[in-house]
Structure 1
Amino acid sequence: MQVIQVRQLRKVFGPAVFGPASSAITAVDELTFDVVPGAVTGFLGPNGAGKTTTLRMILGLVAPTSGTATINGKRYADLPHPSGTVGAVLDRSGFHPARTCRDHLRLYARLGGYPDARVAEVLDLVGATSYAHRQARGLSTGMRQRLNLATALLGDPDVLLLDEPSNGLDPEGIAWLRGFLRAMAVKGRTVLVSSHVLSEAEQMVDRVVIIRNGRLVTEGLIADVTDRGSLEQAYLALTGGAA
Structure 2
Amino acid sequence: MTDVSVRDLTKRFGSVTAVDRLTMDLTPGVTGFLGPNGAGKSTTLRMILGLIRPSSGTALIGGRRYADLDHPRRTVGAMLEAAGAHPGRTGRQHVRIAARLAGIPAGRVDAVLDEVGLTDAADRRTGGYSLGMRQRLGLAAALLGDPPVLVLDEPANGLDPAGMAWLRGLLRGLADQGRTIVISSHVLAEIAQTVDRVVIVHEGAVRFAGELTELAGSAGLETAFLRLTTGSVR
TM-score, normalising length: structure 2: 0.97
Measure, in 2, the Cα distance between the counterparts of 1:150 and 1:159.
Answer: 14
1:197 aligns with 2:187: yes
How far 1:111 sits from its partner (Å)?
1.3
2:142 is the alignment partner of 1:155: no
- Matched position secondary structure for 2:77: strand
The Cα shift of 1:177 comes to 0.3
Query: 5 Å matches for 1:221-236?
Result: 221-236=211-226
Match of 1:207 in 2: 197
**Tell me, which stretches of 5 or more residues in structure 2 are unaligned?**
none
Corresponding residue of 1:35: 26
1:86 aligns with 2:64: no
Shift of 1:91: 2.6
* Cα drift, residue 185 of structure 1: 0.6
Alignment of 1:119-198 (within 5 A): 119-198=109-188
Q: CA deviation at 1:93?
A: 4.9
* SS across alignment from 2:46: helix
Deviations 1:10-47 (A, max 9, x none): 00012xxxxxxxxx11110010000001x100000000
Rounded Cα–Cα distance in structure 1 between residues aligned with 2:115 and 2:185: 22
* Inter-partner Cα distance in structure 1 for 2:8 and 2:26: 15
Q: Share of identical aligned residues, percent?
A: 59
Structure 1 pair 215–76 and aligned structure 2 pair: CA distance change class (3 A): same
Match of 2:209 in 1: 219
2-structure distance, mates of 1:189, 1:112: 20
Contact 1:101 1:147 in 2 (8 A): yes
The count of aligned residue pairs is 233
CA gap of 1:34–1:242, structure 2 versus 1, over 3 A, is farther
Say which SS state the counterpart of residue 2 (structure 1) adopts: coil
Code of the aligned partner of 1:83: R
Distance change (3 Å), C-alpha of 1:92 and 1:115 = same
Residue 100 of structure 2 corresponds to residue 110 of structure 1? yes
Normalising by structure 1, we get a TM-score of 0.94
Contact kept in structure 1, 2:91 and 2:121, CA below 8 Å: yes
Residue 27 of structure 1 aligns with an amino acid whose one-letter code is: A
Q: What letter is aligned with 2:96?
A: R
- For 2:199, what is the secondary structure of its paired residue? strand
- Does 1:11 find its partner at 2:1? no
**SS in structure 1 opposite 2:145?**
coil
Match of 1:19 in 2: none
| CA distance in 2: counterparts of 1:81 and 1:158, whole angstroms | 12
TM-fit CA distance, 1:168? 0.2
In the TM superposition, what is the alpha-carbon distance from 1:92 to its structure 2 partner? 2.1
Structure 1 unaligned regions, length at least 5: 15-23
Q: Cα RMSD over matched residues?
A: 1.2
Look up the SS of the partner of 2:198 in the other structure. Answer: strand
Which secondary structure state, in structure 1, belongs to the residue aligned with residue 224 of structure 2?
helix
**For the Cα contact (< 8 Å) 1:46–1:242, is it kept in 2?**
no
Amino acid across the alignment from 1:172: A
**1:116-174 residue CA offsets vs partner (Å, 9 max, x unmatched):** 22111001100000100111111000000000000011100000000000000010000
